[in-house]
């Protein structure tokens, strides 16, 4: 039997404490469900015309393009949300385990099929470097130890006080968190290609493998333990499922509602003002908008002591992404659901993106072919794709208004010469997203695709807290707050609210 969860509130609805959630990314949707389960009347305000944020779904020419997340890990974090509403996720969404998780293709055409099947992985390692085979078990054991601290003790705990950080410090030190992901991987594996295979994961959450703390090696364990999944119908099916849970709780998502500012009285959040001037009162406000933009643009400077404009300006932001969504009139049956195409350079390319912030002529790409799993996402006989290229955020001096088409064409050429022959003649639907879209459409500071960069000195207590350190009754969820980007990260940020937000019935309605 599933827990029924709190489904009815013993006070009239208009007297029930009101929570406003700004933004309907996965963090905002999960927060709304958790607050609904705590007895709040919840209004989600979303500036776009659909829910999902980075997981928006573009429908075009009969193709269905998931804009962002495609790799679903730690599905139990989603299942929990359905349970809170007394439901089962499987009634609304079917998740399909991927095997292999990814095909990682090197520039010379060799490839590594990465999965949770130990024997298969050992065979793949032996293909590249037999003497590295014993390194796998050692590395996975290290990843497990890191997971126990980094995810289980750190991931869904609020880091509101510096002493919370001090408590965790000895364990972090023991786990060599001062090393980078690449540094820890290189300690175990000697082969340069295998070092890439086991160290690229921070890129999935906007981190530089040479700068992100080795604590992010926990992703390897997370994937192995719970698998890599895809939602049938696309990631959009998860978004729709969560929106349905919110409606089922009697709560509301209002679209095309851009929040202009958070209303603050005597240091306490009292509601929000929309771009059209409408004022919405609330007992608590949760912002799922980018944390830097929340502080910089939605809260006046005089309400902020820690996240001043100067601190926001000088913080480090993740890379951005160039994404080309395209549909082809033929199917490419040899192409896996998830392919990573590594270019000729690794460390140098990453330093062009994160350090020098220049647009390189070469690239490493992630190619998504959801029709490998669910052909219904394209017209019959066709394939739906997106390809993403990590690029500098908007601190780089790249004019995307003029550069986008030539960059797309060079990516198409590379794909045409490698895994998608004759590509340019097969494309029947096309759409591009550049760092400008992350800034202008999704309100991300510096056009960062993943919010604040995940480096040790911007993690846990050092990140904008889930319970705002600036204003009472303001909470933050999503990629730019603790613990960080990626679906497990943003779902965990909403989970942290459980221990921070008081139950609705303990509040006096304003
Ligand atoms: C292309 C791409 C691929 C990715 N792939 C993966 C993957 O495979 N697996 C994975 O785990 N992660 C992946 N990620 C990361 C993951 O998608 C994100 O970290 C996560 O979805 C961010 O969720 P969020 O809760 O921070 O909200 P967002 O998705 O950032 O949503 C925030 C919402 O707030 C709204 N908003 C902002 N300002 C306002 C305002 N003033 N008023 C009203 N609304 C506002 C925005 O419109 C938006 O809808 C990917 C990201 C991208 C960009």
- 3-class SS at 11? coil
| Separation of alpha carbons 291 and 300, rounded Å | 14
Is the separation of the CB atoms in 272 and 280 below 8 Å?
Answer: yes
Q: Is 509 a residue whose pLDDT tops 90?
A: no
Q: What is the mean pLDDT of the chain?
A: 94
CA of 53 to the centre of ligand 1 (A): 5
Which residue in 281, 441, 339, 302 sits closest to 101, CA to CA? Answer: 339
The pLDDT tens digits of the residues spanning 308-318 come to 999 999 999 99
Task: For residue range 376-425, list pLDDT tens digits in order.
Answer: 999 999 999 999 999 999 999 999 999 999 999 999 999 999 999 999 99
Ligand 1 atom closest to Cα of residue 480: 26
Q: Is the CB of 142 under 6 A from ligand 1?
A: no
CA distances from 194 to 104, 125, 366, 466 (A): 10, 7, 18, 37
Quick check: CB of 249 below 6 Å from ligand 1? no
Of residues 509 and 88, the one with the higher pLDDT is: 88
Q: How far is the centre of ligand 1, averaged over its atoms, from the C-alpha of 397 (Å)?
A: 24
Whose tokens are 């820690």? That residue is 306
Give 21: exposed, middle or buried? Use CB within 10 Å, 0-12, 13-18, 19+. buried
Mapping DSSP to helix (H, G, I), strand (E, B) and coil, where does residue 478 land? coil
User: Which of the listed residues 228, 446, 486, 489 should we mutate to test ligand 1's pocket, taking the one with most ligand atoms within 8 A of CB?
Assistant: 486
398 C-alpha to ligand 1 centroid (Å)? 23
pLDDT digits (tens, 9 = 90+) for 29-73: 999 999 999 999 999 999 999 999 999 999 999 999 999 999 999
Other CB atoms within 10 A of residue 2 CB: 12
Which of 23, 226, 273 should be mutated for ligand 1, with most atoms under 8 A from CB? 23
* C-alpha distances in Å from residue 291, one per residue of 199, 252, 455: 27, 23, 16
Tell me the residue ranges of DSSP E strands in 28-147.
41-45, 57-60, 63-66, 95-97, 102-105, 111-114
- Distance between Cα 68 and ligand 1 center (Å): 8
Q: 323 CB under 6 A from ligand 1? A: yes
> Within its chain, how far is the Cα of 343 from the centroid?
24
Which neighbouring-strand residues pair with 328?
383, 427
Asked if residue 154 lies in contact with residue 213, where contact means CB atoms within 8 angstroms, the answer is no
The atom of ligand 1 lying closest to the CA of 71 is: 8
| Gap from CA of 110 to ligand 1 centroid (Å) | 33
* DSSP character at residue 5: -
Of 28, 477, 47, the closest CA to residue 274 belongs to: 47
pTM of the full predicted structure?
A: 0.95
Beta bridge partners of 368: 338, 386
User: What share of the chain in percent tops pLDDT 90?
Assistant: 86
Q: Which two tokens stand for residue 285?
A: 């406000």
Residue 56 CB less than 6 A away from ligand 1: no
Q: How far is the CA of 288 from the centre of ligand 1 (A)?
A: 9
* ∠ Cα 454 215 35 (to 5°): 65
Which of the listed residues 274, 280, 288 should we mutate to test ligand 1's pocket, taking the one with most ligand atoms within 8 A of CB?
288
N-terminal to C-terminal alpha carbon distance within the chain: 37
Maximum separation of any 2 CA atoms in the chain, in Å: 68
Q: Is the CB of 464 under 6 A from ligand 1?
A: no
Q: Count the neighbouring beta carbons within 10 Å of the beta carbon of residue 191.
A: 15
| CB-ligand 1 contact for 370 (6 Å cutoff) | no
36 C-beta closer than 6 A to ligand 1: no
Q: Looking at residue 15, what is its pLDDT?
A: 84
* Residue matched to tokens 């309907």: 24
Whether the CB-CB separation of 270 and 281 falls below 8 Å is answered with yes
Q: 420-462: per-residue pLDDT in tens?
A: 999 999 999 999 999 999 999 999 999 999 999 999 889 888 9
Two structure tokens written together for 23 = 């933004």
pLDDT value of position 156: 76
**Per-residue confidence band for 5, with pLDDT thresholds at 50, 70 and 90:** very low
Output phi, psi for 15, to 5 deg: -100, 0
Residue 48 near ligand 1, beta carbon < 6 Å: yes
- The answer to whether the CB of 53 is under 6 A from ligand 1 is yes
Atom of ligand 1 nearest to the CA of 274: 42
Q: H or E element: which one contains 125?
A: helix 118-128
Written as one string, the DSSP assignment of 321-334 is EEEEEEEESS--TT
> Which residue lies with its CA nearest to atom 38 of ligand 1?
289
CA of 138 to the centre of ligand 1 (A): 34
The atom number, within ligand 1, closest to the CA of 449 reads: 53
Measuring CA to CA, which residue among 76, 255, 14, 23 is closest to residue 32?
23
For residue 323, the ligand 1 atom closest to its alpha carbon is: 1
Beta bridge partners of 105: 111, 341
State which ligand 1 atom lies nearest to the alpha carbon of 67.
1
Map out the domains of the chain with their CATH numbers. Answer: 15-96+235-314+454-509 (3.50.50.60), 115-225 (1.10.405), 316-440 (3.30.519)
């Amino acid at each position: 039997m599933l827990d029924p969860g709190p489904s009815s509130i013993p006070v009239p609805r208009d007297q029930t404490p009101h929570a406003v959630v700004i933004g309907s990314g996965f963090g905002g949707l999960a927060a709304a469900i958790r607050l609904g389960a705590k007895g709040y009347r919840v209004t989600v305000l979303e500036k776009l015309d659909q829910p999902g944020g980075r997981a928006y779904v573009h429908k075009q020419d009969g193709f269905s393009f998931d804009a962002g997340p495609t790799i679903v890990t730690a599905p139990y974090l989603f299942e929990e949300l359905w349970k809170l509403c007394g439901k089962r996720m499987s009634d609304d969404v079917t998740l399909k385990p991927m095997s292999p998780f990814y095909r990682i293709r090197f520039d010379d055409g060799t490839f590594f099929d990465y999965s949770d099947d130990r024997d298969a992985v050992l065979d793949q390692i032996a293909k590249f470097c037999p003497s590295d085979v014993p390194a796998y078990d050692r590395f996975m054991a290290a990843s497990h130890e890191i997971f126990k601290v980094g995810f289980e003790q750190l991931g869904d705990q609020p880091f509101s006080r510096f002493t919370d950080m001090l408590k965790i410090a000895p364990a972090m030190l023991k786990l060599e968190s001062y090393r980078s992901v690449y540094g820890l991987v290189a300690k175990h594996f000697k082969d340069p290609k295998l070092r890439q295979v086991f160290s690229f994961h921070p890129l999935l959450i906007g981190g530089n493998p040479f700068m992100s703390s080795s604590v992010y090696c926990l992703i390897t364990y997370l994937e192995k333990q719970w698998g890599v999944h895809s939602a049938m119908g696309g990631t959009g099916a998860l978004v729709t499922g969560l929106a349905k849970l919110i409606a089922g709780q009697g709560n509301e998502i209002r679209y095309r509602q851009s929040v202009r500012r958070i209303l603050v009285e005597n240091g306490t959040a009292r509601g929000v003002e929309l771009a059209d001037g409408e004022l919405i009162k609330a007992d608590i406000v949760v912002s799922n908008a980018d944390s830097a933009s929340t502080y910089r643009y939605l809260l006046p400077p005089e309400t902020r002591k820690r996240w001043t404009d100067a601190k926001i300006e000088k913080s480090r932001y993740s890379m951005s992404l160039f994404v080309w969504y395209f549909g082809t009139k033929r199917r490419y049956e040899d192409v896996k659901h998830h392919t990573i195409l590594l270019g000729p350079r690794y460390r140098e390319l990453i330093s062009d993106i994160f350090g020098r912030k220049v647009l390189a002529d070469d690239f490493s790409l992630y190619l998504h072919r959801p029709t490998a799993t669910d052909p219904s996402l394209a017209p019959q006989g066709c394939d739906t794709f997106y390809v993403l290229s990590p690029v500098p955020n908007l601190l780089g001096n790249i004019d995307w208004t003029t550069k986008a088409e030539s960059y797309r064409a060079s990516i198409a050429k590379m794909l045409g010469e490698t895994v998608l022959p004759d590509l340019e003649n097969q494309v029947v639907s096309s759409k591009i997203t550049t760092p400008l879209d992350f800034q202008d459409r999704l309100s991300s500071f510096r056009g960062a695709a993943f919010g604040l960069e995940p480096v040790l000195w911007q993690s846990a207590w050092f990140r904008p807290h889930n319970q705002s350190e600036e204003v009472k009754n303001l909470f933050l969820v999503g990629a730019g707050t603790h613990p960080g980007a990626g679906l497990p990260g943003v779902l965990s940020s909403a989970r942290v609210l459980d221990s921070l937000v008081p139950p609705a019935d303990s509040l006096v309605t304003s």
